[in-house]
Structure 1
């Protein structure tokens, strides 16, 4: 299937934002998506993942049949689960190593570094059974559940799209009590990323990927109206962000805005975050499509696209680099020099993430060269 460069670039951008957002003392985290909207890179990542599932499913089913598509995504769910387990082990071991070198860090809970040494089999088992989801990797647990149910839910969506989305919306509405029924370490609170809430965004993405050729011509007839609604939603969200940043002086305005949107809950995916990511998606896909296509052709856009194409490898790498970057930030002294050093650390982890993804994508080429070199030596 031909790749869409702008989508790969946006996936890479989402991973960079996720990495920087988990470095509490970083400088560039002040410029990530979450600083300008009420949603963040997690919504972008999940929506794009759903969109790609929809596109790939349609292609595979048309070429090889429905069973092939179902089997493909069952295998994909297994790979995501395996990435969750391996990533959790690497996260805990890397955190332990940093503590051994007296490099404190706050990006990840310190107990993981203890459990992996004191009770490694117990740690791996609780992660593998998804009883525990280490922070920074918890979105992968959500992704495992969403992909694992795709062999049933996607055919339902393709056969009865309006009914399926109505069911998805109803499940989203009841997401909090449903999530509380999932047994895990959080004692009646369910998963941190509520799968019953976030499934609505994921399957919205699946529907976009599967039915875009049918609904986009209809929506384009209302481009002006949809542009205006989308801009209004994003400006409303920006006003909320500005009020939060101003603090007490803006409290009357913040209280007035809250009367409209109620509350914002990332973990169960509240309605405003959902509408905001959809509004941004429309603007990117239609009025700003040419601009994003141009950006995808730039050097930075191509580098971000490589990060995006790295998939699960890039995700696990960005988690480990966020821990390392956080540990390095905590060694920096305050002041102008420290500020510049933290900027340098931010740039370094971004470049390291790109190098890691580039090496992964070219692994067959350079591993072949290494094997040839070793063969000549022997």
Structure 2
């Protein structure tokens, strides 16, 4: 049962919102998602067999997008309330500009790495592994498409989606000024259109392939986080039926997601295929939302009131990564390919896989520390 009341201990909306203090739960779970995203993007990494995506409908992408919506409510919602939509649009345009160049930089750096790495052990080039042959074959033609986001290879599709999600914030806050419920009608309406074949953004000029992540579908989750932070809806902390239902949803998704079971049981495999429209990652199918909501509920319960259980050195390190989300995401996507190249230079045995994955985690932590140091602009005091 949902009611709009004063903050409840289990809510993501806390007394900390009255000031500038960061919510440790947002930083912790966003940091955790960034570690998972790193492993998920390392080519043929055995550790990727054990990430959450292998056992359920949703994955770390949902965590990242949902919490980005929450963080955006704190950063941009307050600005809109305080300064109006004009300055909000300027601030969001500045942020989109930053993300745009992060996207371009990530593409160029990763393409250069793939070109320098040469051939994989199987004889194929690393360029082929990321399907970048069209770009290297005709860069003069594809560069304008790269810069206009009409050439978006699958590996580089999250940041373009995030740019469009940010661009929708003034639309939703403007609609909010017309009627407080109008944004929710727009959010649901856009999402519903993506489920029924709404035209999607082109990802390459030589085919009709669209962006893998459809922003108009994923905005549902982004704005769920945004408005949960902006207009708190608080679950009753002792509602055990919600917890039990969440556990059942998570457990029930495992037989329909875990590939060894799907291969073992033709019946489960058939059911899984029939559910594809509801589990579609591109358009953000309904079962992904339901599964993520169940995980989020349990995560809040596990974290404790106001994130009281997310203490200790290990949690602190994860939070540091979550605090620098854009820089760490970009670095992690580049690092994942470098780790794949490093694994190819080994026998990919358990020890080599362990050492390279741990080295990747360590580099994320170092990158978070370095990014935080630069953000403090320590030279200004001299």
Indicate yes or no: 2:162 matched with 1:155: no
Within 5 A, what are the aligned runs for 1:1-378? 1-99=20-118, 109-112=129-132, 115=135, 120=139, 122-157=141-176, 160-175=179-194, 180-185=199-204, 187-212=207-232, 215-216=233-234, 219-220=235-236, 223-242=239-258, 244-255=259-270, 263-285=278-300, 287-290=301-304, 293-294=307-308, 296-333=310-347, 338-363=349-374, 368=379
Q: What is the CA distance between 1:34 and its match in structure 2?
A: 1.2
Report the CA distance shift for 1:106/1:220 in structure 2 as closer, same or farther (over 3 A).
farther
Q: What is the CA distance between 1:133 and its match in structure 2?
A: 1.3
Partners of 1:73 and 1:148 within 8 A in 2: yes
Report the CA distance shift for 1:289/1:333 in structure 2 as closer, same or farther (over 3 A).
closer
Of stretches 274-283 and 346-355 in structure 1, the one that deviates more from structure 2 is 274-283
Report the CA distance shift for 1:249/1:29 in structure 2 as closer, same or farther (over 3 A).
closer
Q: What is the CA distance between 1:249 and its match in structure 2?
A: 3.2
Deviation string, structure 1 residues 78-130 (Cα, Å, up to 9, x no partner):
211121111111111122122289897769844537735x6555444222100
Structure 2: runs of 5+ lacking an equivalent:
1-19
Give the alignment's TM-score, normalised by structure 2.
0.83
Deviation string, structure 1 residues 11-53 (Cα, Å, up to 9, x no partner):
1111111111111322322332213321111111111111111
Report the CA distance shift for 1:99/1:192 in structure 2 as closer, same or farther (over 3 A).
same
Partners of 2:104 and 2:147 within 8 A in 1: yes
Q: Secondary structure of 1:209's match?
A: helix
State the alpha-carbon separation in 2 of the partners of residues 247 and 188 from structure 1. 31
Partners of 1:84 and 1:140 within 8 A in 2: yes
Partners of 1:182 and 1:188 within 8 A in 2: no
Bigger proportion of residues as helix: 1
Report the CA distance shift for 1:226/1:106 in structure 2 as closer, same or farther (over 3 A).
farther
State the alpha-carbon separation in 2 of the partners of residues 177 and 109 from structure 1. 32
Q: What is the CA distance between 1:250 and its match in structure 2?
A: 2.5
Structure 1: runs of 5+ lacking an equivalent:
373-378
Deviation string, structure 1 residues 181-231 (Cα, Å, up to 9, x no partner):
53441733421111221111111111111112xx21xx3277233223322
Give the alignment's TM-score, normalised by structure 1.
0.84
